[in-house]
Structure 1
Amino acid sequence: MKIFSAQQIYNADKFTIEKQQITSDVLMEQAATKLFEWIHARLRGTQVNIKLFCGIGNNGGDGIALARLLHEHGYSIQVHVVNYSEKRSKDFLLNLERIKENKIWPDFINEDSDLPEISPNDIVVDAIFGIGLNRTPDKWVGRLIQHINASQAFVLAVDIPSGLPMDRSPWNTYYVIEASYVLSFQVPKLVFFLPETGVYVNQWELLDIGLDAEILEKTDAAYELVGRQEILPLYRPRLKFSHKGTYGHSMIIGGSYGKIGAVQLASNACLTTGSGLVTAFVPKCGYQSLQTSVPEVMVLTDEDERNISKITLPFVPDVIGIGMGIGTEEKTAKAFGNLLKEMKAPMVIDADALNILAKNPKMLKDIPEKSILTPHPKELERLIGAWEDDFDKLEKAKTFAKEHEVILVIKGAHTIILYNGKGYVNTTGNPGMATAGSGDVLTGIITGLVAQGYEPLYATIFGVYLHGLAGDIFASQQGYEAVKASEISTMIGRGFMDILSPPEVVEDREKG
């Protein structure tokens, strides 16, 4: 599912109006009708006080039109117009006249107005600012937003929480609506998925307001939201007449004294994801534990007892996953550097291997093309430098990925994959996965998919989704706090089954 910029949404509105030969007012009425249908389906005429706060632009026009529909169906409403400018959109003015014809008289809030009373039992509809916001709200509007946030009422935001810009972090974090639910029009917004801005969106849902399918299809988006619908076509079914060699030979390199468990986690996940063969390369101290904990994995050892000092491989693997628990000793960094020069198989580079690259940037030129880097936030900062906000981070990360021809995985609540100037935003995963070893499992999953012949970008997109889905399945059974990295691996098979199951089966399973 595409994630559009504000300008692309405006273009889609304009295209729809011209192609379908309708007015902008008709499009606004379609949006208001969808908003009303969503609310009405849940309230069914329940007597609750609905307070609508409407700006004087098109977002406010949506709110005014919604107020009229709610009134016509017997709901108790109060309409507050936030009079923050002398300018008014024509569709706002048109809908304002319509509600007056219905004997609805809005309360106009100005800079010197008293703040309206809001009860915790009220429903607040936020339609003050839309996607066109290009400056911080005035102080008095900011006080109104703070008043709404402090009310403890259920806050339903129209399209986007007021005060939240589309293409940057908020100017003033206190002047943003903290929405209980966002009903967004047609396409999701990138700000819903970034750490600094996603905190203002508790839950969100898309409403199809009738934007023309042609413009949605032909418009290229800088970001794409990845759900089950996007993942299913990437799946590569297994062949009846196949053998272990059909599904590739993965090499997992890592570990040091006291950190062999990271290699165990990655190796086990690699196998469970379907790699035909897995060999682990570890220091001598890891031999016995790997042979006993993951008997399906073949083990090669370094001559060094405690650390990796020289990587000698007797075969050419299809893919290498490296870095888990490996440490940053000078001899280990040298061994990694030599491996980069000698091996051209794609690599999944994680953990301390990333820290070695950050300390030795000249090594970056030797990374095999389309290798996959999986940093957590601090490792990412070491690679690309500090950033001002999430948008600056994304731009710097895009530049880094393009310059070094790598696939960059920015891990987080909504992991974002960057390659060749485009981003893919993941939709699976949960807070329980913020636990030791979770990243090692992800490295193993992606490595296993590359080994089986998945193109590296698709392996990364699929792997990130599968990793989060496995974590979601376990958390749904045991709770967030009980999630361990090893338990994520046990749910990889269930994750595959969910991806391949008919949607209604998945829905039934999620309902319990």
Structure 2
Amino acid sequence: MKLFSKEQIYMADKLTIERQNISSTDLMERAGSQVFNWIHMRLQGAQVPIHVFCGIGNNGGDGLVIARQLILDGYNVKTYVVNCSDKRSKDFLINYDRIKNVTKKWPTLLSCDDDFPVINAEDVIVDAIFGIGLNRPVDPWIKNLFKYFRNTKAFVLSVDIPSGLSTENIPVDEDSVVWATYTLSFVTPKLVFFLPETAKYTVHWEVLNIGLDEDFLMNTTTEVDLIGKNEVLPLYIPREQFSHKGQFGHSLIIGGCYGKIGAVTLASKASLSAGAGLVSAYVPKCGYIPIQTAFPEAMVITDTDDEIITKIDFKITPSVVSFGVGVGTDTKTINAFEDFLKQNKTPLVIDADGINILAKKKSLLQLLPLNTVLTPHPKELERLIGDWKDDFDKLKKVKAFSKKHKLIIVIKGAHTITVFQDKLYVNTTGNPGMATAGSGDVLTGIITGLISQGYSPLNATIFAVYLHGKSGDFAVEKYGYQSLNASHIINYLGDAFIDLFRLPEPPQEEEIEEAEATKKD
């Protein structure tokens, strides 16, 4: 799914109005109707008090459409206009007149803290105060209104985006943003729904189709893509009936030191489970027996040293090399890595201490093959690119680093983001149970295994991040967050592959009714 920028959404609105020969008021009616349908399908006429808070711009106009349609359908609605300025948008004023024509209870004007209505925890708040165009700090009394929303414990439904939340900046004050229970986002979810510092402002989100110009939506390239099953399925490379292991490449996993051979074992297992034809592990001598015992499918090559990697010397011809899991940062290991890079032409995946070595000796970055994949955790990323002010600054610096060194970088997190130059791929699978030792080693192995089979480094990374998270989602159903471990992720990797081709469940009656209501509008 494409995540359109604010400017692209404005352009989509403009083209829709021109090409469909409708007015901006008609488009607002369409958007508000979709939110009304969503509410109506869930409340089914229940007389729970609904408080609709409208700003004085176009988001507020959406709110007035929603309030009017709820009133016409017999709901218990109270409408408020948050009077934050003397300026009103044209479509707001049109819909203000329309709501006055259908009810004697005209919208209540709110101008200060003393105007706040009584709201109970069982009520519903519809937040249509500010949209994506907000470009200034909110007034202190409006900030108090947002805090009041939180204190009521009521269900908060935000229209398009939680009010006060910018699409391109991190809020300075968390009280200046509505904390939504649910956000109904028009056309596209917003990138801020997926960033660590801003995801908290909406617990759930859903996209509503308001009929914007299909040609524009289909043919416009975005800087951010949201990755789910529909996005990774076309990446899948099927196997022929008469395939053999030699056609799926040879992964070489270089890493480990005394006490950290498990990292190599996990990465090696994951690589084979991801489909690599052959897997070899290159480890210090102390790793020979552990890997041969724990993972008999792997071949093992050992360094001359018992405890660390001191030289990288092998006779095989791998399809892809992974370096770094559990390898340590001993000077001898760093020198061995440098010597290896100077003669290596094979695709490369670097994780853990491999990244720490690059951070210690930045000159090695010039030796990396084109489109090398780096998979740092947050602290390793900071060592590599320096600290950052906030999530947007982090993304800016990672994109610049990716472009400069021609690398693919994985920013791990609840919504892991793959960065390739100026493009972001935001993952949708995974869960908190995957925040466990060895989970990153498994991801490195999956990426390596996919590259081994002939996937491009970028496609392999996007696909691997999805499969890794999906495996974790299957595993957590059995083990729960606390007990899930890295080996479980490998064990459920097959389920993640099978799920790619599992047909969706037939729509429930409620979903069918909602779809029919959408068609009518």
TM range (shorter): over 0.9
How far apart are 1:80 and its partner, in Å? 1.1
How far apart are 1:281 and its partner, in Å? 0.3
Aligned length: 507
Counterpart-to-counterpart distance in 1, 2:183 and 2:53:
15
Match of 1:369 in 2: 370
How far apart are 1:113 and its partner, in Å? 3.3
Q: Does 1:504 align with 2:505?
A: yes
- Asked if structure 1 preserves the Cα contact closer than 8 Å seen for 2:113 and 2:144, the reply is no
Aligned residue type for 1:252: I
Question: What secondary structure, in the 3-state scheme, does the structure 1 residue paired with 2:142 have?
Answer: helix
Counterpart-to-counterpart distance in 2, 1:352 and 1:171:
34
How far apart are 1:262 and its partner, in Å? 0.4
Match of 1:231 in 2: 232
Q: Which runs of 5+ in 1 are unaligned?
A: 508-512
Match of 2:277 in 1: 276
TM-score normalised by length of structure 1: 0.98
How far apart are 1:135 and its partner, in Å? 1.5
Match of 1:329 in 2: 330
Question: What secondary structure, in the 3-state scheme, does the structure 1 residue paired with 2:146 have?
Answer: helix
- Asked if structure 1 preserves the Cα contact closer than 8 Å seen for 2:170 and 2:198, the reply is yes
How far apart are 1:111 and its partner, in Å? 2.7
Match of 1:32 in 2: 32
Aligned residue type for 2:77: I
How far apart are 1:136 and its partner, in Å? 1.5
Question: What secondary structure, in the 3-state scheme, does the structure 1 residue paired with 2:114 have?
Answer: coil
Q: Does 1:115 align with 2:142?
A: no
Q: Does 1:493 align with 2:497?
A: no
How far apart are 1:180 and its partner, in Å? 0.5
- Asked if structure 1 preserves the Cα contact closer than 8 Å seen for 2:113 and 2:145, the reply is no
Match of 2:161 in 1: 160
Per-residue CA shift, 1:480-499, capped at 9, x if unaligned?
Answer: 11210000000000000001
How far apart are 1:479 and its partner, in Å? 1.4
Counterpart-to-counterpart distance in 2, 1:411 and 1:288:
32
- Asked if structure 1 preserves the Cα contact closer than 8 Å seen for 2:285 and 2:305, the reply is yes
Q: Does 1:393 align with 2:368?
A: no
Counterpart-to-counterpart distance in 2, 1:201 and 1:440:
31
Q: Does 1:187 align with 2:188?
A: yes
How far apart are 1:505 and its partner, in Å? 8.2
How far apart are 1:158 and its partner, in Å? 0.4
Question: What secondary structure, in the 3-state scheme, does the structure 1 residue paired with 2:280 have?
Answer: strand
Question: What secondary structure, in the 3-state scheme, does the structure 2 residue paired with 1:503 have?
Answer: coil
Counterpart-to-counterpart distance in 2, 1:492 and 1:150:
43
Q: How does 1:18-417 map to 2 (within 5 A)?
A: 18-103=18-103, 104-111=105-112, 113-417=114-418
Q: Does 1:435 align with 2:441?
A: no
Aligned residue type for 2:303: D
Match of 2:9 in 1: 9
Match of 2:468 in 1: 467
Counterpart-to-counterpart distance in 2, 1:314 and 1:115:
75
Aligned residue type for 2:10: Y
Per-residue CA shift, 1:244-290, capped at 9, x if unaligned?
Answer: 11000000011111100000100000011110000000011010000
Aligned residue type for 1:30: R
- Asked if structure 1 preserves the Cα contact closer than 8 Å seen for 2:183 and 2:206, the reply is yes
Q: 1:64 to 1:506 in 2, by over 3 A?
A: closer
Counterpart-to-counterpart distance in 1, 2:478 and 2:207:
28
**Superposition RMSD in Å:** 1.1
Aligned residue type for 1:343: N
Per-residue CA shift, 1:34-74, capped at 9, x if unaligned?
Answer: 10111111110011000011100111110110000001111
Q: 1:308 to 1:474 in 2, by over 3 A?
A: same
- Asked if structure 2 preserves the Cα contact closer than 8 Å seen for 1:135 and 1:171, the reply is no
Aligned residue type for 1:278: V
Counterpart-to-counterpart distance in 1, 2:138 and 2:182:
21
Q: 1:505 to 1:31 in 2, by over 3 A?
A: closer
Aligned residue type for 2:283: V
How far apart are 1:501 and its partner, in Å? 1.6
Q: 1:506 to 1:383 in 2, by over 3 A?
A: farther
Per-residue CA shift, 1:304-348, capped at 9, x if unaligned?
Answer: 111111110112211011111000111111111111111111111
- Asked if structure 2 preserves the Cα contact closer than 8 Å seen for 1:345 and 1:368, the reply is yes
Aligned residue type for 1:96: Y
Counterpart-to-counterpart distance in 1, 2:338 and 2:473:
37
Counterpart-to-counterpart distance in 1, 2:20 and 2:472:
44
Counterpart-to-counterpart distance in 2, 1:119 and 1:249:
62
Match of 1:510 in 2: none
Q: 1:270 to 1:400 in 2, by over 3 A?
A: same
Counterpart-to-counterpart distance in 2, 1:302 and 1:283:
5
How far apart are 1:118 and its partner, in Å? 1.2
Question: What secondary structure, in the 3-state scheme, does the structure 2 residue paired with 1:500 have?
Answer: coil
Q: Which runs of 5+ in 2 are unaligned?
A: 509-521
Per-residue CA shift, 1:71-101, capped at 9, x if unaligned?
Answer: 1111001111100011111111111111111
TM-score normalised by length of structure 2: 0.96
- Asked if structure 1 preserves the Cα contact closer than 8 Å seen for 2:375 and 2:412, the reply is yes
How far apart are 1:502 and its partner, in Å? 1.8
Question: What secondary structure, in the 3-state scheme, does the structure 2 residue paired with 1:203 have?
Answer: strand
Q: 1:479 to 1:135 in 2, by over 3 A?
A: same
